[in-house]
Amino acid sequence: MAGSGTFAEIIDGDVFKYYAQGHWNKSSSGKFVPIINPTTRKTHFKVQACTQKEVNRVMESAKTAQKSWAKTPLWKRAELLHKAAAILKEHKAPIAECLVKEIAKPAKDAVTEVIRSGDLVSYCAEEGVRILGEGKFLVSDSFPGNERTKYCLTSKIPLGVVLAIPPFNYPVNLAVSKIAPALIAGNSIVLKPPTQGAVAALHMVHCFHLAGFPEGLISCVTGKGSEIGDFLTMHPGVNCISFTGGDTGIAISKKAGMVPLQMELGGKDACIVLEDADLDLAAANIVKGGFSYSGQRCTAVKVALVMESVANTLVKKINDKIAKLTVGPPEIDSDVTPVVTESSANFIEGLVMDAKEKGATFCQEYVREGNLIWPLLLDNVRPDMRIAWEEPFGPVLPVIRINSVEEGIHHCNASNFGLQGCVFTRDINKAMLISDAMETGTVQINSAPARGPDHFPFQGLKDSGIGSQGIANSINMMTKVKTTIINLPAPSYTMG
């Protein structure tokens, strides 16, 4: 059970504590934030509503702890990360249980998220030792007009305090994808978990606590966005922000000031299916890509752009697969589970109703019970429908029939988003040309979009983000270059 056994100290009564100065604390606000179970739509957990004063204290201790952490040998930092990874994986069951209750993640996927997170932390420790263990050596006489009188040594140094803000859909994995690179690089970390997913994140943080990281180096503050959201992102003590989520990221980047930003802000990932595609492969990927975790992934297939000549066959194959999806609660590992909040379900419904009014073909009946929406394929979607452009973040997938590859690429590139895209074809030359033409951070050939494996670079163009993730890119992003130049006396040509 959440908050019991190893995790007993992170809860007080029925409210989970926040983590600061190496301890689990109650907020002086005396208030809590309820976490609603998406399935039952009842309060399942409660977390502390931290105050701005408490955030100030967290920032102070993060700053102090970082100074000595940066001087801790790299191998020791790596050792602690490996320890945290092992503890995390050992406690996958209670953490996964939180994910099931807080964000309705199907039970098996919840366990996978925790294991994947442990692996990410370990990989990060290993990669960090390699990346940060070497620097550069430059000599001055390679630049015109210079003698060989200067030796330049470069190394990578930490940024300071990294603020990590992960989203509800991967509150553990997308938290550690920020925490581990920050820590191995010698930064301290302040984590602001999403409301839905906060309890899973607090459990994960406890695993880092048990590993024995120094006090103040890692903090996790919970609370209302209206009270501590802007306060955190505009805090002068923050030296870097790594955020994954929705539109809020654009607002953060406008307010954040002169700190490096790593932002991943959603997408409208297009799947282009050509006439020569393996249609069984395309259908399997479209269903998995469009409906796993009820479409609540930034890398979900969010629009299928299908050549008219194969559209009828492909749509039938997709519908056959949709008919086999199980719909229900996450505890029994249903394929499609309730979406995270009622307002999210209402938003999805708005897109569906707009498509209905404008004449889309409903391949299934639209069914909704509470936050649970049955998987729905909308065929013959046209560009005047909202769902052609907006991100439902739900189990609803539009099909737009196209008459040329150019039409598909044009639709993809007309989007404000540019996260990932995919193309199904047996012609690798065509696939490469389409990949070049698609304005997205990644193009998958003959597979649905996906972020993992977690060491691959992951980035969005346009409104989909700033910077690149993936383990090596995140480590580099959370450092800056420091140079030391040794100035030698002018060369004496008489020597030697």
Q: Are 426 and 278 in contact (CB under 8 A)?
A: yes
Report the number of secondary-structure helices (H) and strands (E) in the chain: 14, 28
CB under 6 A: which stretch of 103-111, 227-235, 297-305, 371-379 binds ligand G3H? 297-305
CB under 6 A: which stretch of 15-23, 200-208, 275-283, 293-301 binds ligand G3H? 293-301
Angle subtended by helix axes 405-414 and 428-437, to nearest 10: 30
298 contacts ligand G3H (rule: CB under 6 A): yes
Among 77, 101, 297, 317, binds ligand G3H (CB under 6 A): 297
Dist. CA 102–CA 118, nearest whole Å:
20
Instruction: Between 169 and 239, name the residue whose CB sits nearer to ligand G3H.
Output: 169
CB under 6 A: which stretch of 117-125, 145-153, 291-299, 402-410 binds ligand G3H? 291-299
242 contacts ligand G3H (rule: CB under 6 A): no
User: Smallest distance, Å, CB 209 to ligand G3H?
Assistant: 26
Catalytic site includes residue 357:
no
CB under 6 A: which stretch of 42-50, 345-353, 422-430, 446-454 binds ligand G3H? 446-454
CB atoms within 10 A of CB 68: 12
User: Smallest distance, Å, CB 295 to ligand G3H?
Assistant: 10
| Distant-in-sequence, close-in-space partners of 150: CB < 8 Å, separation ≥ 6 | 139, 140, 485, 486, 487, 488
CB under 6 A: which stretch of 125-133, 210-218, 296-304, 401-409 binds ligand G3H? 296-304
440 contacts ligand G3H (rule: CB under 6 A): no
Instruction: Between 2 and 96, name the residue whose CB sits nearer to ligand G3H.
Output: 96
Instruction: Between 256 and 450, name the residue whose CB sits nearer to ligand G3H.
Output: 450
Dist. CA 356–CA 388, nearest whole Å:
13
SS3 percent helix, strand, coil of the chain, rounded to 5, is 40, 20, 35
User: Smallest distance, Å, CB 298 to ligand G3H?
Assistant: 3
User: Smallest distance, Å, CB 303 to ligand G3H?
Assistant: 16
**In this structure, is the dihedral angle defined by the CA atoms of residues 331, 332, 336 and 338, taken in order, positive or negative?**
negative
User: Smallest distance, Å, CB 169 to ligand G3H?
Assistant: 5
The residue number whose beta carbon is nearest to ligand G3H equals 298
User: Smallest distance, Å, CB 233 to ligand G3H?
Assistant: 20
End-to-end CA distance of the chain: 76
Instruction: Between 27 and 117, name the residue whose CB sits nearer to ligand G3H.
Output: 117
Residue that has been written with the tokens 């249980």 in this structure: 97
Contact set for ligand G3H, span 447-486 (CB under 6 A): 450-452
Strand pairing partners for 482? 155
Quick one: DSSP state of residue 275? T
CB under 6 A: which stretch of 102-110, 146-154, 292-300, 482-490 binds ligand G3H? 292-300
Instruction: Between 54 and 454, name the residue whose CB sits nearer to ligand G3H.
Output: 454
User: Smallest distance, Å, CB 406 to ligand G3H?
Assistant: 28
Cα 377–Cα 405–Cα 314 angle in degrees, nearest 5: 30
Nearest to 412 by CA among 309, 306, 315, 305: 305
DSSP states of 105-139: --HHHHHHHHHHHHHHHHHHHHHHHHHHT--EEEE
User: Smallest distance, Å, CB 468 to ligand G3H?
Assistant: 13
Instruction: Between 203 and 451, name the residue whose CB sits nearer to ligand G3H.
Output: 451
Instruction: Between 132 and 204, name the residue whose CB sits nearer to ligand G3H.
Output: 204
Contact set for ligand G3H, span 153-192 (CB under 6 A): 169-170
Distance of CA 110 to the CA centre of its chain: 15
**In this structure, is the dihedral angle defined by the CA atoms of residues 340, 9, 53 and 55, taken in order, positive or negative?**
negative
Instruction: Between 340 and 475, name the residue whose CB sits nearer to ligand G3H.
Output: 340
Please identify which of the residues 264, 275, 390, 407 carries the catalytic annotation. 264
Specify the amino acid at residue 255: K
296 is written with which tokens? 């609540």
Count of chain residues binding ligand G3H (CB under 6 A): 8
Q: What are phi and psi of 256, to 5 degrees?
A: -65, -25
CB under 6 A: which stretch of 103-111, 135-143, 213-221, 444-452 binds ligand G3H? 444-452
User: Smallest distance, Å, CB 451 to ligand G3H?
Assistant: 4
Specify the amino acid at residue 421: G
User: Smallest distance, Å, CB 30 to ligand G3H?
Assistant: 34
User: Helix H segments across 325-403?
Assistant: 342-357
**In this structure, is the dihedral angle defined by the CA atoms of residues 439, 441, 447 and 449, taken in order, positive or negative?**
negative
Enclosing H/E stretch for 308: helix 308-324
Instruction: Between 3 and 470, name the residue whose CB sits nearer to ligand G3H.
Output: 470
CB atoms within 10 A of CB 468: 18
Among 299, 344, 415, 479, binds ligand G3H (CB under 6 A): 299
Q: Give how far Cα 257 sits from Cα of 226, 230, 253, 438, Å.
A: 19, 12, 8, 31
Q: Does 106 sit behind a cis peptide bond, omega within 30 degrees of 0 on the bond before it?
A: no
Instruction: Between 299 and 476, name the residue whose CB sits nearer to ligand G3H.
Output: 299
Q: Active-site residue numbers? A: 264
Residues of this chain that bind ligand G3H (CB under 6 A) = 169-170, 297-299, 450-452
